[in-house]
Chain A
Amino acid sequence: MVKKLIRHDIRAFARTMLPAEIIVVALGLFCRFIQFFESRTTAYEIAQFSAVGAFVIAILAALFMAFFTGVSRFYKNLFTNEGYLSMTLPVTPAQHILSKTVVSLLYTALTCLVILLSVSLASMGELLFESVKAGNYLIGKLVSLVGGTNFAFWIVEGILLLCVYTVNTYLLWYACLSIGQRAKKNRALAGVGVYFAYYFIRQIFGTFLVIMFTVFAQTELFRSIGYYLDRHPVFTIHTFLIGFTVIYVLFSLLYFAIANRMLSKKLNLE
């Protein structure tokens, strides 16, 4: 059933996202195309500036749209009129949440890839060649320092962390919207309110942690840990990447559980 939900969600997202992706690629190509007319005239300068400007705006817009679609589709599909259809399908709330999360992640990743591709296309030629050369050199140096395996693992851990972070972001919003829809009026706004309230609480908690950390930093234990980490930078980075991944995974599970509970027991369709 989840596969069916995913398929329908992909189609729903494609309505807005596919045009966005196409526009990004098109503007990227246009930027490259403009360069064929390179000259020192003001006309060219303006044209190039506009092209690049439009390209950058399109990129930012596409990223924002991916995020916004991911969050708003969850709300629209489950808590508005459409909810009367969605929530009476023979599907569990958990399956709904999973589908939306997966498809949101998919489109976010797709948008990033499309952006990377478009930027490469836009800078095709000298600029790209030099960038790739520089990149290769840096990577080569790093690999010789820490070893190929470590580097490869870092890449994997890094990508995993990015995915988990993205999933975490969406699930947090889903949980907040699910709590917000229990309100009597302005349910979407209430959801946004929950998000900011939580953000506020996190800031306070974060400050508290910083204070604790400063206190902790005076201890011997801290000094010895720091000494060890200093001596084992590779290990440190692995720990950092994996550690944060684990934290985000745990919080994702929490947010998932909250959204699931709200959808199962506390649904408030109007």
Chain B
Amino acid sequence: MSELIRCEHLTKSYNGLIALNNIDLSVESGKIIGLLGPNGSGKTTLIKLINGLLTPTSGEIFINGTRPGVESKKIVAYLPDNNFLNSWMTVEQIVDLYTDFYADFRRELCFEMLSRLGISPSVKLKTLSKGNKEKVCLILVMSRKARLYVLDEPIAGVDPATRDYVISTIINNYDPEASVLISTHLISDVEQVLDDVIFINNGNIVLHKTVDEIRQESGKSVDALFREVFRW
């Protein structure tokens, strides 16, 4: 049980606009956490800070005890919201790249998952359909044996069958030493899989409880509670 994410009075602002407002957060290993909030709530900012793509304006963020940098990037597997694949590589070449740079990358598992989804290694990435591109991105990330997985909208652009596949991959990959942070709008599809839920709005953490606590206390699903809390 280690503390994989620790935010202390973490603040990030751009041009006077406060994206994250003095956040305190602690995420332990062995959990699947939902980061839920409307657009512009600060979710993406927090995710970028975790991945070292942004630096804090004030306050601290620690990933497994170190500030985001080379060491944290070795143990964090990030699935961004957009397609990060370049167009000219083949599937095999991008797998090679992951093998090269990430010591925790499980190459055989990756090829196994790709073949199960019918994606051939020699195919050029740019010829893949949008759905297949997302699957490849997900497989690359889940093939790493990371300590922290950060998935930004992993199921938004895919069909329901693939959603089930994504969710069962996440469950299958579960490791008590690792945690998965899922940022999504599609709450009702994932809430069964979550341990903890974080509601974030206007740069503040509004709620941080377990799914069962929420259902017990409010008598509603997390999805229903979300709609209530974030009603316009």
Contacts and interface: CB of A to CB of B under 8 A. Distances in A.
Contact of A89 (B73, B80, B82): B73
Given A267-B53, A267-B54, A269-B53, A89 B101 contact: yes
Contact of B101 (A11, A82, A91): A91
B82 A81 contact: yes
Contact of A82 (B70, B73, B86, B102): B86
Contacts of A89: 73, 101
Interface string B75-110: 010101011111010000100010011100000000
Interface residues of B, number: 25
B121 interface: no
B70 A92 contact: yes
A11 B90 CA distance: 12
B102 A90 contact: yes
Interface string A2-19: 001001100110010000
Interface string B51-84: 1111100000000000001110110101010111
Contacts of B85: 81-82, 85
Interface in B12-27: none
Contact of B100 (A4, A84, A85): A4
B88 A15 contact: yes
A4 B101 contact: yes
Interface in B37-53: 48, 51-53
Given A81-B83, A84-B78, A89-B73, A8 B53 contact: no
Contacts of A8: 97, 100
Contacts of B74: 90
Contact of B53 (A77, A87, A91, A92): A87
Contact of A88 (B71, B78, B86, B100): B78
B86 A84 contact: no
A265 interface: yes
A84 B152 CA distance: 12
B59 to A, nearest CB: 15
A255 B80 CA distance: 30
Interface string A69-109: 00000001100011111011111100000000000000000
Contacts of A12: 88
A15 B90 CA distance: 13
A231 B63 CA distance: 65
B93 to A, nearest CB: 8
28 contacts: A4-B100, A7-B100, A8-B100, A11-B93, A15-B88, A76-B86, A77-B86, A81-B84, A82-B84, A82-B85, A83-B84, A85-B84, A85-B85, A87-B53, A88-B51, A88-B76, A89-B101, A90-B70, A90-B71, A90-B102, A91-B70, A91-B101, A92-B69, A92-B70, A264-B55, A267-B54, A269-B48, A269-B53
Interface of A: 1, 4, 7-8, 11-12, 15, 76-77, 81-85, 87-92, 264-265, 267, 269
